[in-house]
Amino acid sequence: MTRQKTIAKEFTLAGKGLHTGHDVRMTFKPACAGDGVRFLRTDIAGHPCMKLGDLALITGADAGRYSALKNDAAVIYTVEHLVSALAGLGIDNITLEMDGDEVPGLDGSALEYVRALKAAGIVDLDAEKIFWEIKEPLCVSKDGASVMIVPASDFRVSYALEYPHPLLKQSLTVTVTPATYETEIAPCRTFCLKDEADALLARGLGQGANTVNTLVFGPEGVVGNSLRFADEAARHKALDCIGDLFLLGLHLKGHVFAFKSGHNLNRELLKKIAEQKKKYEARRELFKVEYKPGASLDVQGIMKVIPHRYPFLLVDRILEMESGKRAVAIKNVTMNEAFFQGHFPVKPVMPGVLMLEAMAQVAAVTLLSTPELLGKIGFYMSVDGVRFRKIVSPGDQLVMEVEITKSRSRIAHAKGVCKVDGQLVCEAEMGFAFGE
């Protein structure tokens, strides 16, 4: 089990906001499992709280120069660098108290946050980390820029940068882990073109920025500074993307492909991810069955777990079940079965392949009633060792005993037997794959 994390001890950082130039003091405090990442404005009466995961609080403005959180009159600007550091280090729960309206800009990257968080100590909590695994591709695009995310077993970001400057045509791909984040992403500073810097200042932004904490690209190259990486700008865009997507409040498994995207498009993708999550969680709830070990499960309960319906639902009742391990079920074979109309109608015999299907359905109920597979669909992947021992006729009660021999996140194997009056009529080994 991958555990949720927080910090071991409290610490404080202070600095100026990159855009407002306001001085701010920020205190980082450990939090309990399930508390999430919470910002509190201690300089405002009532200490208004803004918690990651509440999409109604997420905002941004000024041509997509930053991401912000807003709770009525309370606002916190430019949260993405700090939030990116939390995501990169795998921190799930922390309380962030601040006496101003913008997160400290520090050196314009996430490196000082990473160093301070690690110095405080990152510790495990007694709760499982919450991931959202992308189920199907999602994409947003506008004005020639795009960002999409596709299913993957880990979290990866591929970013392609294309600015009207010879040094700003860059691309990279990084698999985000605490180690890769600290060394390859966190040190990369925010940047802009020289004419963009002048325009930002004219609009009252960038008041805390300078050529130390911001890479300013002029006609001759970087103004008054030097690069930490040849592709530092693209790496910083990946840093921003990681932070913007962690505003959802949980860790992702998926591969992000971004082309010229910024905060606005990142947040649009975040909304689509939230919609996908809501849709699939509603589906999981639809299939959820309150099952007590040792109890029976009737046909209504079975239909909540697997999508099969009459005339292809071949299980009448689960007599007993250990979710994910074993089950015993019955199928009452009657003359009214649809398949008897064409399968030896003069001398009705239950087709052997339907006995295999019935065992597979029992195995599917056993597997899909577990929390990790709830709401998925099981597909036959293989059948081996099939033996048919006796004929099954109308009036027989088919008793199916299934044992799960192997189960992983996407595949499983099971052994099954069918009996009538205690005598073996069919047996097989079955393999399954799971999808949405």
User: Residue 205: exposed, middle, or buried by beta-carbon count in 10 A (0-12, 13-18, 19+)?
Assistant: buried
Amino acid sitting at position 58: I
Torsion of CA 289, 294, 299, 304, to 10 degrees: 20
Q: What is the DSSP string of 381-424?
A: EEEEEEEE-S---TT-EEEEEEEEEEE-SSEEEEEEEEEETTEE
Angle at 187 between CA 186 and CA 190, to 5 degrees: 95
Q: What is the DSSP string of 218-261?
A: ETTEESS---SSTTHHHHHHHHHHHHHHGGGSSEEEEEEEEES-
Angle at 379 between CA 374 and CA 381, to 5 degrees: 130
Residue with token string 């001085």 = 23
Amino acid sitting at position 405: T
Do you know the residue count of the chain? Answer: 436
**166 close to 174: Cβ distance less than 8 angstroms:** no
User: In this structure, are strands 251-259 and 155-162 parallel, antiparallel, or unpaired?
Assistant: parallel
Q: How far apart are CA 63 and CA 145, in angstroms?
A: 14
**151 close to 133: Cβ distance less than 8 angstroms:** yes
- Give the tokens for residue 33: 């499992």
What are the Cα distances from residue 336, in Å, to 169, 288, 344?
Answer: 70, 31, 14
Residue with token string 């064409």 = 342
Peptide bond before residue 187 is cis, with ω within 30 degrees of 0: no
291 CA to centre of own chain: 27
Rg (the chain; Cα; Å):
28
- Active-site residues, by number, are 263, 343
Angle at 297 between CA 293 and CA 299, to 5 degrees: 165
User: Which element (helix H / strand E) includes 93?
Assistant: none
Q: Which residues contact 364 (CB under 8 A, 6 or more apart)?
A: 305, 306, 378, 432
Residue with token string 């946050």 = 113
218 CA to centre of own chain: 39
